Amino acid sequence: MSSLLDSEVKEILDLRSFLTFDLNEQTFAVPVESVVEIQDMTAITKIPNAATHMAGVQNLRGKILPVIDTRVKFGLPPVVDTVDTCIVVIDMEVEEEKVLVGALVDAVEEVISIPATEIQSSKSIEAKFDLEFVSGMFKQDEKFILMLDLNKVFALDDDNKVSVDNIKQA
Amino acid sequence: MKEEDLIQLRNIFMDEASELFVKIEKNLLAAEQSPDDPTLIAALFRSIHTLKGSSGMIGSKKVTDFIHNLESIFDKIRSGMAPLTPEIIDCTLQCMDHVKVLIVDPELKKDKDQTNDQALTDRINQILSGSAKWATAQPAQTQSAVGRHTYYVYFKPHAHFLKDGSNPLLLIEELTEIGDTLVYAHIDMGQMSDYDPTLCYTSWQVVLSTDEPMSNVQEVFIFTQDEDIKEVKLLSNEDLLANPRFVQRMPKPELGADLTQEKIHDIIKGLEQEVEPVETDSATKVDAISNIRVASTKLDELMNQVSELITSQAALSLYAKNHFDPNLEVIADNMEKIARQLRDTAFDMTLLEIDHLFTRFHRSVRDIATQLDKSVHFVTEGGDTELDKTIIDNLADPLMHLIRNSLDHGIETKSIRAQRGKPEKGTILLKAYYSGAKVYVQIKDDGKGIDVEKIKQKALKNEIIKESDQLTDKELLNLIFVPGFSMAKDVTDLSGRGVGMDVVKKNVLDLRGDISVESVLGEGTTITIGLPLTLSVIDGLQVKVHDTDYIIPLGSVEKCFELKRSSFVNDFNQVVSLDEQQYPYIDLRGEFQISEDNAPVTNSIILVKDHEREVGFCVDEIVGEYQAVLKPVGKYYRDQEFVSGATILGDGKIALVLDTNNLISKKHNNLKLAAS
């Protein structure tokens, strides 16, 4: 019965849960539903000649996990490996296929729940970051937390455009 | 019977039947070329007969009746009472298609199938009644089993038997198929110095126990010449071969004894004098099972588990090595050996001959060519080349598309071919062969080729290229693989059937393969698809470049050398001298843009062969052999085509598997561009 009650309460308040993490002293949030797990940053194998934000691949219990350096993706200098650095493993759907992708972040903070009504659109934020990847924001303890648009952050780079260079490589 | 039981039965039947269908089609098409070949006809009859038998399983009288009629036709042909005409072949092919429909839908709900059913039944009846003037055929399969008899069969082909390509073994094999046999081959050669390899010196003595009448045994030799000596004698009205004491007394077949009929009679007499032992050995007649059917999902599971095992084993080997425990190392080495054998065996099970695919195309080519009123000679080579079943499954569509293209737009009509002085019959060659660690599948036609100029015009119109771009003919040809390059008929010689060449290319790339096209205007087009042997586990050479491990497929590695880095790295010609020969090389440090700072003084150069090209790969050091369980690196790295996958090393680190062919092609193109 209690669980039923919980969900009723939740429905009224429409609480959303997020995992927050830090990047360059700014806190970001991603919906917990998309987060599979959090990994330490261990041996990452870099794949040569890839885009700079592609940090490499990691062994996730026998699976190959592509890892994206979120800082580089946002136009910041690359992540420096500290004790706090970790990889947020995110469940994505890319081109109608489920894939796991790792996001390198400075530090993971906590899981928070906030009512949907408190989320604002991102239009009004002063542009310290490339806002292309931000889908909204909310305020917590006098601090603004930016919500990431995962589909944009971890989209495949669109270089399917046909160019002569591509053809010559073929 | 319950509905689901029926469905299950039908599935089992379909499983078996589909194999038979393939066999029948293949033999029919072969028979089209040589309609008098008795072995083909016999094989056809047997397949159809088996099909009839198992069709009883699904309890559809219609199917059984239908096939029964076909069987009657082939029985007549088999007994030499009717010729195998093209009409019969054609009719049988269509009947096979119809039977497939009948199995799924016995009530024939579609009108189209109904009319087809009637038409085919009429055709069969016509063929059968047309045979009225043939001698009255023996009713098929009516000789009831009157118990087994044992015959003595002596067959001595005349010396020149082999000259016309006849194979006496096939006849002997046929004997073994109608009953239990003991076969003795006797070689009567005389002087070794007079030996002529084109002559047949062998004669056969066969003890055959069967329930067929003697006439059927004699029928086996119906197609032999008069000069061939063949005798069929009744030895006994019992099944002597079921008598272990008889078999025991017979000489061993491999001794090459000359077993005359008299000798056998002696043995039989000896037997009769002996007191029959009371016990009857019931275990003598156990048919050994040589093949079993396994669901392909089980094979996939097995391969996955083998992959896991290999990864764990690599971890064990590394641990043993690092802990200097000789006992553990021996165990780990043993494990590695077994894991490797297990991998090979499991892997072998998932391989299929590409012939499975080719057979399908024979039929389609025949149909499409008739439709288009073109005359095509469709040749396949290398059907015994083996590939992973997943690859074969996924190769069917792209290959079919390419073959259709060749038929539709490559091969010209008969009249045009005649005008151009080409043989009226066009040729399409479908060929598979191994080279290095890859299998190549080639489709070659002698049609009109692709007009590069037309491609250029179209590409300009579609703004795929600019007027200022300088493209070689090969690059222009490759434009046909570009998405968005319309295949409209008025523009290129390639199909406009909805699925474009870009889809073909994508399908091939998904299999970690590559595709290339060559064409000479007026002379024909060749499309070559390169495919990996397997999608799961490969033998590789583990190498290091900077701090990253790479795996180079061992199958393509020719030789390894060591060289001082300074001696070649700045060489302007980009060649290295190895074994007094000059080879182009790819410096992986340079290729991967790694700084020269910590480059070792001595480098290893691995000579890799790919498709007739030999190129040196320069790496920091060679670590050793490694069995790599291939895992995809995923879509995020799809632009890094030179990485065909990744594998997990014993210590949990990841090594990248290099696609050497891709690197070589890229290098090759760059060199060419620089030269132009």
**Pair B310, B388 in one domain:** no
pLDDT value at residue B59: 67
* DSSP notation for B318-340: HHHHHTT-HHHHHHHHHHHHHHH
Amino acid making up residue B277: P
For residue A168, what pLDDT band results from cuts at 50, 70 and 90? Answer: very low
Per the model's pLDDT, the better-predicted residue between B132 and B269 turns out to be: B269
Structural domain contains residue B399: yes
Asked whether residue B543 carries a pLDDT value surpassing 90, the answer given is: yes
Structural domain contains residue B40: yes
Asked whether residue B214 carries a pLDDT value surpassing 50, the answer given is: yes
Query: Which of B498, B532, B566 is where one domain is finished?
Result: B532
Q: Residues of chain B with pLDDT > 90: what percent?
A: 5
Structural domain contains residue B423: yes
Domain extent, residue B242, equals 149-273
Contact B531, B439 (CB under 8 A): yes
CB contacts of A43 in chain B (<8 Å) are 652-654
Q: What is the mean pLDDT of residues B456-482?
A: 79
* DSSP notation for B5-27: HHHHHHHHHHHHHHHHHHHHHHH
Contact B1, B338 (CB under 8 A): no
Q: Which of B654, B661, B672 to mutate to test the interface with A (most CBs of A within 10 A)?
A: B654
| CB atoms B653 and A45 under 8 Å | yes
Structural domain contains residue B278: no
CATH number at residue B623: 2.30.30.40
Asked whether residue A163 carries a pLDDT value surpassing 80, the answer given is: no
pLDDT value at residue A7: 60
| CB atoms A43 and B636 under 8 Å | no
**Pair B498, B425 in one domain:** yes
Show the tokens assigned to B623: 């670590």
**Pair B496, B558 in one domain:** no
User: Would you call B309 an interface residue with chain A, using a CB distance cutoff of 8 Å?
Assistant: no
* DSSP notation for B510-558: HTT-EEEEEEETTTEEEEEEEEES-SSEEEEEEEEETTEEEEEEGGGEE
Asked whether residue A29 carries a pLDDT value surpassing 50, the answer given is: yes
Of residues A49, A95, A157, nearest to B593 (C-beta): A49
What is the distance between the alpha carbons of residues B486 and B658, in angstroms, rounded to a whole number?
33
**Pair B45, B94 in one domain:** yes
CATH number at residue B183: 3.30.70
Question: Smallest CA–CA separation between B484 and chain A, in Å?
Answer: 9
B320-341 pLDDT per residue, tens: 888 888 889 899 989 989 988 8
pLDDT value at residue A101: 92
**Pair B397, B507 in one domain:** yes
pLDDT value at residue B569: 64
Q: What is the mean pLDDT of residues B640-654?
A: 84
B610-638 pLDDT per residue, tens: 766 788 899 999 998 888 888 888 888 87
Contact B153, B181 (CB under 8 A): no
**Pair B507, B368 in one domain:** yes
**Pair B376, B515 in one domain:** yes
Total tally of structural domains belonging to chain B:
5
pLDDT value at residue B442: 93
pTM, 2 dp: 0.53
Q: What is the mean pLDDT of residues A111-119?
A: 86
pLDDT value at residue B141: 40
Structural domain contains residue B197: yes
**Nearest residue on chain B to A56, judged by CA atoms?**
B637
User: Would you call B674 an interface residue with chain A, using a CB distance cutoff of 8 Å?
Assistant: no
CB contacts of B653 in chain A (<8 Å) are 43, 45, 59
CB contacts of A164 in chain B (<8 Å) are 465-466, 469, 471
Asked whether residue B196 carries a pLDDT value surpassing 70, the answer given is: yes
Structural domain contains residue B285: no
Of residues B482, B634, B642, nearest to A64 (C-beta): B634
pLDDT value at residue B645: 86
**Pair B346, B356 in one domain:** no
Query: In sequence order, which residues have a C-beta less than 8 Å from that of residue B615 and are 6 or more positions away?
Result: B583, B584, B585, B586, B607, B608, B660, B664, B667
Structural domain contains residue B291: no
**Pair B158, B231 in one domain:** yes
Question: Smallest CA–CA separation between A123 and chain B, in Å?
Answer: 30
**Pair B587, B628 in one domain:** yes
Query: Which of B258, B273, B288 is where one domain is finished?
Result: B273
Structural domain contains residue B283: no
| CB atoms B631 and A46 under 8 Å | no
pLDDT value at residue B97: 81
| CB atoms A45 and B548 under 8 Å | yes
For residue B549, what pLDDT band results from cuts at 50, 70 and 90? Answer: very high
What is the distance between the alpha carbons of residues A165 and B639, in angstroms, rounded to a whole number?
13
Interface of A with B (CB under 8 A): 43, 45-50, 54, 57-59, 62-64, 66, 68, 94-95, 97, 99, 101, 156-157, 159-160, 162, 164, 167-170
CB contacts of B646 in chain A (<8 Å) are 45, 57, 64
| CB atoms A64 and B632 under 8 Å | yes
What is the distance between the alpha carbons of residues B141 and B458, in angstroms, rounded to a whole number?
65
Q: What is the mean pLDDT of residues B476-499?
A: 58
CATH number at residue B483: 3.30.565.10
**Pair B321, B192 in one domain:** no
pLDDT value at residue B135: 43
B84-117 pLDDT per residue, tens: 788 888 888 888 888 877 777 777 777 777 788 8
B155-176 pLDDT per residue, tens: 888 877 777 777 778 888 888 8
pLDDT value at residue A111: 92
Query: Which of B471, B501, B532 is where one domain is finished?
Result: B532
Contact B208, B153 (CB under 8 A): yes
CB contacts of A58 in chain B (<8 Å) are 654
CATH number at residue B47: 1.20.120.160
B551-576 pLDDT per residue, tens: 998 878 888 988 888 777 666 667 78
Query: Which CATH class for the A2-156 domain?
Result: mainly beta
Of residues A45, A101, A156, nearest to B656 (C-beta): A45
**Pair B383, B398 in one domain:** yes
